[in-house]
Structure 1
Amino acid sequence: MDLIRHLQCFVTVAEESHFGRAAQRLGMAQPPLSQRIQRLERELGVRLFDRSSRQVTITRGGALLLDEARQLLADAEALRATARRVREGHSGLLRAALPPDVSGETVAAVLAGFQQARAGVELELRELSTADQLAALASHDLDVGLVHHPCDVSGLELGLVLRRELGVLLPRDAAAARLEAVPLAALTGYDLVLFPRAHAPAVHDDLLTTCARHGYTPTAVRHGQSPSFVRGLLLSRRAVTFGPSDTANAGDTNLAWRPLSGAPLAWRHSTAWLRGRGDATVRAFADTVADALSRTADTGPDLPSGPLHLRPAAEYSL
């Protein structure tokens, strides 16, 4: 039995005190309305109306149930309204993630932009590597994330692919720091500090492959993540690292950031979500991230001259 529909019939008959008028108000014939009231009475075990040829009078038991019936109908309508807001992207919870290399300014811009775009949605934002995001998406523990490419995109839908050109951060007294733009081959003899390979294996290997093709094979690859630890490695281990211009600390007199000749290295990333799960809220987050990155991280759409390969294609072993 459709309890909500039957309660609507009960309340309408109680308000009209007439089956004919109630049926007209409900947009149905009178016999089916009478049958619904009878079925509701059987279901509840309570006689709701006294009927005569002239009038319909609500019983004492019916009167006691009427307020609760109205409250149930109001709650049902509130539930439907909330569901509509969730469906249209105006309410609910969005579980999202950004990678660790995103700057604080970008994170703040994402939070502010999403709040403005979807004020009724609670944003649960986490810091996760690409590998952790892909695992969380697959297990349905994450709704949307910003991933680095190349990665395995099977089963996913992607937002706009964005590009952030990488430069090199190196000791200021290094010979290459005197160049306006540094060829990768000029870094020969230096160790390379990278993010842990497990965070984004294909990106890690693709970067090393590109370095080798341009004449730079690092003497050693060291892994670091926090800025202070990476800085220590650069200063004490004769090492360099790659990063976009916003990762450089202008006040650090011991390190220098320089662009790479020919811009051979870049982060490519996009928002990603499970295929078929890209509702209005997910797409609002994707748009917010793209806007935040363009304003805070000198990022733009990736417009390659040839095909863009987003799946892992290269492996590099030391």
Structure 2
Amino acid sequence: MDLVRHLECFVAVAEESHFGRAAARLGMAQPPLSQRIQRLEKHLGVRLFERTSRQVTITEAGTLLLAEAREVLARSEALMATARRIRDGETGLLRAALPPDLSGETVAALLAGFAEGAAGLEVELHELSTAQQLAAFAAHELDVGLIHHPSDVSGLELGPVLRRELGVLLPGDAAAAGLDEVPLASLTGHDLILFPRAAAPAVYDDLLTTCARNGYTPPAVRHAQGASFVRGLVLSARAVAFGPRDAHGDAEGEAPQGPSQGPSEAPSPGLSQGVPRNPASGVVWRPLTGAPLALRHSVAWPEGRGDPAVAAFAGAATHALRTTAGATPDLPSRPLHLRPASEYWL
């Protein structure tokens, strides 16, 4: 039995004191209305109305239950209104994820922009790698996220693809540190520090493939994500790591202007997360000749889930990346799909 619909009939008859008028108010015929009242009385186990050929009088039990019935109907309407707002993206909970390579400035700008564009919407924000986000999408545990390309985007819709060029972090006394731009081939002999492959397999393979095509095959690939560990490997193991300018652009070998900003905690896609920007640390950042390496991002969400809340998040993320991270629109020259790990070895 549809209790809410039957309670609507009960309240209408009680307020109209007439089955005909109540039926007209509800947009239904009188016989079905009488049948619903009878079914409700049977369900509740009490008589709600005294009926005569001339009038309908609410019983004492009916009077006692009327306020409760009105409250149930009010709560039901409130529930439906909230559901409509959630459906329309006006309020509710949005489960979102960002990769661990964004600077604090970018995250703050994203959240500020989203709050302005989607007032009343609560965000449950997680820090997840691309692989973790794809798994969460598949498990229906995520509404929207910012992923790296290339990756397996089947079943997902994408926002604009944005590109952040990668430079190289290397010891300050390395030969390549004296160059204005560093060819990848000049890194020969240095181990490479990369994020664990499981975090973004296709991005990992894509980076190694591009390095090999440009004359750099590292003797060994070391895995690290934490800022201190990456810094230690760069300084002590004569290794190099890749990172975007927005995270490491002021570690360029010139004396810093004004007070030292101290270590940067802004990670780069697990590439060289949080390596200190201050040249005094012995680590310098240099752009790569020809900009062969780049991070590619886009907001992703399940197909058919592109409601106003997701659109607001996508817009805020795109704006934040462009204004705080120097990201530029990218038109990939190849499909954004998961590519075989074996490609690097071909």
The TM-score normalised by the length of structure 1 is 0.93
Corresponding residue for residue 168 of structure 1: 168
Measure the CA separation in 1 of the matches of 2:34 and 2:203: 69
Measure the CA separation in 2 of the matches of 1:154 and 1:166: 27
Q: Which runs of 5 or more residues in structure 1 are unaligned? A: none
Corresponding residue for residue 15 of structure 1: 15
Measure the CA separation in 2 of the matches of 1:78 and 1:19: 27
Measure the CA separation in 2 of the matches of 1:34 and 1:157: 51
Corresponding residue for residue 219 of structure 1: 219
- Map 1:46-85 → 2, pairs under 5 A: 46-85=46-85
Corresponding residue for residue 97 of structure 2: 97
Q: Choose the corresponding residue for 1:311, options 321, 326, 338.
A: 338
Residue 258 (1) aligns with residue 275 (2): no
- Map 1:101-140 → 2, pairs under 5 A: 101-140=101-140
SS in 2 for 1:316: helix
Question: Which is worse superposed, 228-237 or 46-55?
Answer: 46-55
Equivalent position amino acid for 2:177 in 1: A
Q: Which runs of 5 or more residues in structure 2 are unaligned? A: 249-275
Q: Deviations over 1:78-125 (max 9, x none)?
A: 110110011011222222211111111112122222222223222111
Question: Which is worse superposed, 285-294 or 207-216?
Answer: 285-294
Corresponding residue for residue 316 of structure 2: 288
SS in 2 for 1:166: strand
Q: Choose the corresponding residue for 1:268, options 278, 288, 296.
A: 296
Q: Deviations over 1:35-78 (max 9, x none)?
A: 22222222222211112233211101110110110011001001
Measure the CA separation in 2 of the matches of 1:42 and 1:281: 45
CA contact 2:152–2:336 (8 Å) conserved in 1: no
Question: Which is worse superposed, 30-39 or 291-300?
Answer: 30-39
Equivalent position amino acid for 1:25 in 2: R
SS in 2 for 1:136: helix
Identity in percent: 71
Q: Deviations over 1:101-153 (max 9, x none)?
A: 11111121222222222232221111111112212221222222211111122
Q: How many residues align?
A: 317
CA contact 2:145–2:301 (8 Å) conserved in 1: yes
SS in 2 for 1:102: coil
The TM-score normalised by the length of structure 2 is 0.86
Equivalent position amino acid for 2:278 in 1: G
Q: Deviations over 1:173-227 (max 9, x none)?
A: 2222222221111111211111111211111111011011011111221111112
Measure the CA separation in 1 of the matches of 2:305 and 2:336: 23
Equivalent position amino acid for 2:285 in 1: W
Question: Which is worse superposed, 43-52 or 210-219?
Answer: 43-52
1:317 Cα deviation (Å)?
4.8
